[in-house]
Structure 1
Amino acid sequence: MRHIRGRLTPDYPMAKLTWFQVGGPAELLFQPEDEEDLAAFLAALPAEIPIMVVGVGSNLLVRDGGVKGVVIRLAARGFGSVERIGENRLKVGAAMPDKRLAAAALDAGLAGFHFYHGIPGAIGGALRMNAGANGVETTDRVVEVVAYDRQGKRHVLSHADMGYAYRHSDAPSDYIFTHAVFEGPEGDPAAIQAAMDEVQTHRETVQPIREKTGGSTFKNPDGTSAWKCVDAAGCRGLIVGDAQMSEMHCNFMINRGEATGHDLETLGETVRRRVRDGQGIELHWEIKRIGRFEPGREVAPFLDGQ
């Protein structure tokens, strides 16, 4: 690895990288300088060493036993730029926060990106999970995505290759997205700004944005909203340890101060069980959970599947 220019840090505390501020250490954290550096690292890394990619940590729960292998985090310096290409397109780095993409689209006079103003994540995660809000999804704006596989080979994926569905893409799970091309129609800057302001006002009014949270905990089931299921199960405000389902928006988990990954995952699985038992509905996690449990503190899923 002597030819690698990026930063390699052993035993990095993952709690520093997540909005929940919980989780054990990563055996090794790698922050590449640029795409070339990332490709070189992947090509040199032995195949048996597992890799996990993280973004800004807004939709991530790291378990208390830490993460085995290498955690890769793309830094803003090498992967956070935006460039206008053509009249209606933007080339955007995977490390750019969603909110900054909304602002860049406003500056470029491109409509249809306002929904990103209210999503607390980065573009890499949005590409992976087809992030969306306010009736618009990532799939509506993506033209193509550049990614690197486990061997460091570069791939260009078309919109069709991404295989988007609700909060899901069919892109290979070992692909690391580095940038993407987005497209939107020309719009009136005043109207775009108004749409962004509406998104921000709604978010501040109904979501616990000033708490240690991870965004929406569960995906919406067919025909209803996850928060309605949680509320009907009597889980608004439910507490496990120092973790709580928010009183403001009960599909948000919050760390009240000293919660552990065990507290948060136990809370989520308790809610899933109560919704299943009372309503016959299976809630599925939207928050990504990674890492190992501490020995003797495993959290078994209350439902089949994840």
Structure 2
Amino acid sequence: MKQKSQSTNHIGLIKPQVFYSNPQTLNTNPYQDKELHHADSVVLSKALEEFKGFHEMLVDKGVAVTMLLGHPECPDHVFPNFFSTHDNGQAILFPMMAENRSKERTPEILDFIKRHYTIAHDLTHFEAEGKACEANASVCLDRVNGMAFAVLSKRTDEGLARHLADIMGYDIVIGETALDNGLPVYHTDLMMFVGEGYAAVCFEIMTKGAEEFRDALTKLGHEIVEISKEQLNEMCGNALQVIGQGGQKYLVMSSRAFNAFRDDQKMIFKKYVADILHAPIPTIEKYGGGSARCLMQELF
């Protein structure tokens, strides 16, 4: 299932109907604010304002955006981690760790997926076994070279990550991480991303697999930008390459991440993309514990 392009010019966004720190994911996500565990109209209003600005930023650069509507019982629905799409017209459905995240597979969104893609693999039955693998948040793909990267957590099961790579025909490198609190980073896309010709990785938090990650990326010809632990905490690992008008490539991240990257690191990215796009999403980052890449579902 190797793809000719790493990126797409079509992004799906899910407009939330409710937004607050999901109590069912707090034990795995230290980036969430631990105070607000209930619906709050002020927080939702701020999140929607940030969401609108993020949406407009993409559209202004010629990125096609499909807007889907979130579920009123799903506080994390703004982060679409339950399916992936591929340029062969196929889609994959994924098992989620949190029960209220399983509800994100609404009939309306499943209907959208089925209208535009063939669901080639439905892995959601693994939820009954307590296993999770949350799409491209759990497994970072080098689509051009057919290589996958994953770091393990309660939300990224090793067996499922390897199974995903197998059904896609990808090779995979598995690693492990530890944050200051002893927990692993909850999603791979918090600590690394891969573009065309470049990649960014936080090796500093890796307790296993760092050299394997580095060797694989180097052999594939990627120029590696190393993210520090401090930069990881500023969401620098959560970025995504997209395609805009005229086939221009852009790297999308939050303003928080952009401001935390050094100028020399940004210069490396700009060797490979037309520009770095960023928007302020502090409310989404504070209460959701995710950033720019988490918001975007690639629609190939």
- The answer, yes or no, to whether TM exceeds 0.5 is no
TM-score (norm. length: structure 2): 0.30
Largest Rg, 1 or 2: 1
**RCO greater where, 1 or 2, for CA within 8 Å and sep 6 or more?**
2
Hey, which of these two has a bigger chunk of helix by percent? 2
TM-score normalized by the length of structure 1: 0.30
